[in-house]
Amino acid sequence: MTSSPNLALVEQVVITILARQAQCAPESLKPSDRLADLGVDSLRMAEAIFEIEEQLGLIVPLEVERNPAIDLSTVGGVLAAVRALLQEQTHWA
């Protein structure tokens, strides 16, 4: 078994977490969906980030949340940030 995460599984975990916070079905989410439009406020986003950290074994530094170059406002932005953190923290390609 490899220690590298499977991209499809990672995306499924993140989508499931975001859907839970948005109180919608995971299959209804699209990368372009804005989290605020789905009802994911800052508290729900913090909860999602904690759960992503726990489920994927990542550490999401505060700099990520505060960095204007990192877009956490959309589903696709969160997926991209998680992929980048995986590459950085696990040397996953």
pLDDT(17) > 90: yes
Mean confidence (pLDDT) of the chain = 88
pLDDT(88) > 60: yes
Please state the φ and ψ torsions of residue 26, each to the nearest 5 degrees. -55, -40
pLDDT(15) > 80: yes
Q: What is the mean pLDDT of residues 62-87?
A: 87
> Which pLDDT does position 69 carry in this prediction?
75
Q: Could you say which architecture CATH assigns to the domain 7-90?
A: Orthogonal Bundle (1.10)
| Confidence band of 87 (pLDDT split at 50, 70, 90) | confident
Summarize pLDDT for 58-74 with one digit per residue, the tens. Answer: 988 877 777 777 889 99
- Using CA atoms, how far apart are residues 6 and 25, in angstroms rounded to an integer? 22
Summarize pLDDT for 19-28 with one digit per residue, the tens. Answer: 999 999 999 9
- CB crowding 24-53: b at 16 or more within 10 Å, else e: eeeeebeeebebeebebeeebbeebbebbe
